[in-house]
C-alpha cells in the first residue's frame, strides 16, 4: 500500500510511539502487510492519529455532475426537492390566494356607503394584502428550490356578510377566524410533507416564515370575536370599528 503524506506527517504504532521522523509533503511511505502503522498529521508533539480521508471533493462531485440536467426545461438549482413538496407548495399558494380573495370581498362589503365600517374595511384589506404576500413568498420559494409554480382556480367568494342573528361584523370576524385556522392546518400539512421527505430546508422555511405568525393571527382574531360577541349588533360595533380604524398594523 502507498500513502502520500500531508504537509507534516509521521507514523505511530498502536501505542502512539513515533516510529519515523517527520516527513515533508513529497514523501511516500511504503509498508508491508502485517505491520501496524498508523499515519497521522502532526504539529510539534501532536500525536493524535487520523481517522482517514473524510472528504474527497473531486471524486464525490462526479456523481453530482451526473445530476446536473442538460435539457433547458429542467431546473439547474433543484436538489433533494421531491414532487410531493412541489405539489404541496402549489396547493398552499392556492390556499393563500383564495383566503386573500375572501378578505378582499369583505373589504369591499364594509367599504360600502350603506355599511360604512371603515375600520373593518381597513382590517380586511390589509389581511387580503398579507395573504397575497404569503402566496408570492411561496412562489418565490418554489422557484428557488427548482420547482414550477402552477396556479390553480380561485373560488368566487361571498359578497354579502350580514347575518340575521350575529350581524355583519361578528359573522365576518368568525369567518376570518375559521379561515386562519384552516390556513394553519394547511401549513402544518406542508410541514408534515417536508418532514416525511426529510426536507429540512422546507420544514425550516414553513416554521420560520409562517407557523409562528399564524398562531399570533389566530390569537388576535379570537380576541376580536370575543369582543364583538360582548358588544352585540348595536352601537358597540361602531366603537369596535373605530378601534380598528385607528390601530396600527391590524391585519391578521
pLDDT, block means (10 residues), the chain with 252 residues? 46 50 47 51 58 69 69 81 96 98 98 97 98 98 96 95 94 98 98 97 98 97 97 92 83 56
Helix 167-196 to helix 212-231 angle, to the nearest 10 degrees?
160
CB atoms within 10 A of CB 5: 18
CA distances from 223 to 118, 182, 194 (A): 19, 18, 32
Helix 167-196 to helix 235-246 angle, to the nearest 10 degrees?
50
Q: What pLDDT shows up at residue 71? A: 76
By the 10 Å C-beta count (0-12 exposed, 13-18 middle, 19+ buried), 76 is classed as exposed
The per-residue pLDDT for range 84-100, each reduced to its tens digit, is 999 999 999 999 999 99
By the 10 Å C-beta count (0-12 exposed, 13-18 middle, 19+ buried), 37 is classed as middle
The per-residue pLDDT for range 151-187, each reduced to its tens digit, is 999 999 999 999 999 999 999 999 999 999 999 999 9
Q: What pLDDT shows up at residue 47? A: 62
Q: What pLDDT shows up at residue 72? A: 75
State the Cα–Cα distance between residues 224 and 200, nearest whole angstrom: 35
DSSP state of 68: S
* 252 in Cβ contact with 213 (< 8 Å): no
In the annotated binding site, the residues are 96, 131, 134, 180, 214
CA distances from 6 to 29, 50, 116, 204 (A): 11, 11, 79, 39
192-218 core/surface letters (b: 16 or more CB in 10 A; e: else):
ebbeebebeebbebbeeebeeebeebb
Q: What pLDDT shows up at residue 68? A: 73
CB atoms within 10 A of CB 75: 14
Q: What pLDDT shows up at residue 40? A: 52
- Does the pTM of the predicted model rise above 0.85? no
User: Which CATH number, 3.30.70.1290, 3.20.20.140, 3.30.360.10, 1.20.1260.10, labels domain 83-246?
Assistant: 1.20.1260.10
What contacts 168, CB < 8 A, 6 or more positions away? Answer: 109, 110, 115, 117, 161, 162
Q: What pLDDT shows up at residue 34? A: 53
CA distances from 229 to 3, 112, 218, 239, 251 (A): 80, 23, 16, 13, 20
Mean of the per-residue pLDDT values of the chain: 84
Q: Which three cell numbers stand for residue 5?
A: 503524506
Rg (CA), the chain: 31
In the annotated binding site for Fe cation, the residues are 96, 131, 134, 180, 214
Which helix (H) or strand (E) is 196 found in, with range?
helix 167-196
Label the pairing between strands 2-4 and 28-30. antiparallel
Q: What pLDDT shows up at residue 52? A: 67
Amino acid at each position: 500500500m502507498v500513502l502520500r503524506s500531508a504537509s507534516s506527517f509521521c507514523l505511530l504504532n498502536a501505542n502512539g510511539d513515533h516510529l519515523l521522523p517527520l516527513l515533508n509533503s513529497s514523501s511516500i511511505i511504503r509498508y508491508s502487510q502485517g505491520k501496524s502503522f498508523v499515519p497521522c498529521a502532526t504539529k510539534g508533539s501532536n500525536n493524535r492519529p487520523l481517522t482517514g480521508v473524510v472528504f474527497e471533493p473531486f471524486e464525490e462531485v462526479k456523481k453530482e455532475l451526473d445530476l446536473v440536467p442538460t435539457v433547458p426545461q429542467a431546473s439547474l438549482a433543484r436538489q433533494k426537492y421531491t414532487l410531493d413538496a412541489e405539489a404541496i407548495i402549489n396547493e398552499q399558494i392556492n390556499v393563500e390566494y383564495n383566503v386573500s380573495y375572501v378578505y378582499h370581498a369583505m373589504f369591499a362589503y364594509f367599504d360600502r356607503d350603506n355599511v360604512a365600517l371603515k375600520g373593518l374595511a381597513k382590517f380586511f384589506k390589509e389581511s387580503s394584502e398579507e395573504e397575497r404576500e404569503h402566496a408570492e413568498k411561496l412562489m418565490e420559494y418554489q422557484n428557488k428550490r427548482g420547482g414550477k409554480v402552477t396556479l390553480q382556480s380561485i373560488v368566487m367568494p361571498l359578497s354579502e356578510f350580514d347575518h340575521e342573528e350575529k350581524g355583519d361584523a361578528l359573522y365576518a370576524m368568525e369567518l376570518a377566524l375559521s379561515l386562519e385556522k384552516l390556513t394553519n392546518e394547511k401549513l402544518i400539512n406542508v410541514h408534515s410533507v417536508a418532514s416525511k421527505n426529510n426536507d429540512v430546508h422546507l420544514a425550516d422555511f414553513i416554521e420560520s416564515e409562517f407557523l409562528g405568525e399564524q398562531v399570533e393571527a389566530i390569537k388576535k382574531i379570537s380576541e376580536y370575536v370575543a369582543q364583538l360577541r360582548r358588544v352585540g349588533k348595536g352601537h358597540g360595533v361602531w366603537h369596535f370599528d373605530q378601534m380598528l380604524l385607528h390601530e396600527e398594523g391590524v391585519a391578521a
